[in-house]
Amino acid sequence: MNIFTLSLAILVIFMPTAQAKEMLVQITDIANTQKSFIASIGAKDGVFTGQTALFSNREVSILSRAVEVNRFYSMWIPTTGRRPVVFNRLEMVTYSNDLEQNDKQILKNIQNQN
């Protein structure tokens, strides 16, 4: 086994894996068009470009997709694309990347509206 293969094997073994998380994050900024927002969660937290996650406050839940990610921050756009982002700048919201739990939360919100 050469040094390259050994290095690659070590990298794969110790590479962080994306796990389902639910946590509070801060909405750092919102675009003037209200079509995207920046959240204080980034690659260090397991976020990657193209990932979908649910952002929720007491009134609304927004299913969003990460379009840009750096170490500490990520930019998200709602997957519906038509609704404006209704969060406020510096608001704390719940972030969840557990897709099964997200589906349950969306159904619960729909039932609460009816």
Going by pLDDT thresholds of 50, 70 and 90, the confidence category of residue 37 is very high
Residue 59's domain comprises: 22-113
45: three-class secondary structure by DSSP: helix
Q: Would you put residue 81 in left (φ > 0), alpha (ψ -120 to 50) or beta? A: left
Return the pLDDT at 43: 96
Number of domain units in the chain? 1
We report the CATH number of the domain holding residue 79 as: 2.40.10.340
In this predicted model, what pLDDT tens digit does every residue of 63-109 receive, in sequence order?
999 999 999 999 999 997 677 899 999 999 999 998 777 677 677 77
- Distance CA(98)–CA(16), nearest Å, equals 17
Backbone angles phi, psi at 108, to 5 degrees: -65, -45
Mean pLDDT across the chain: 83
Residues in the chain: 114
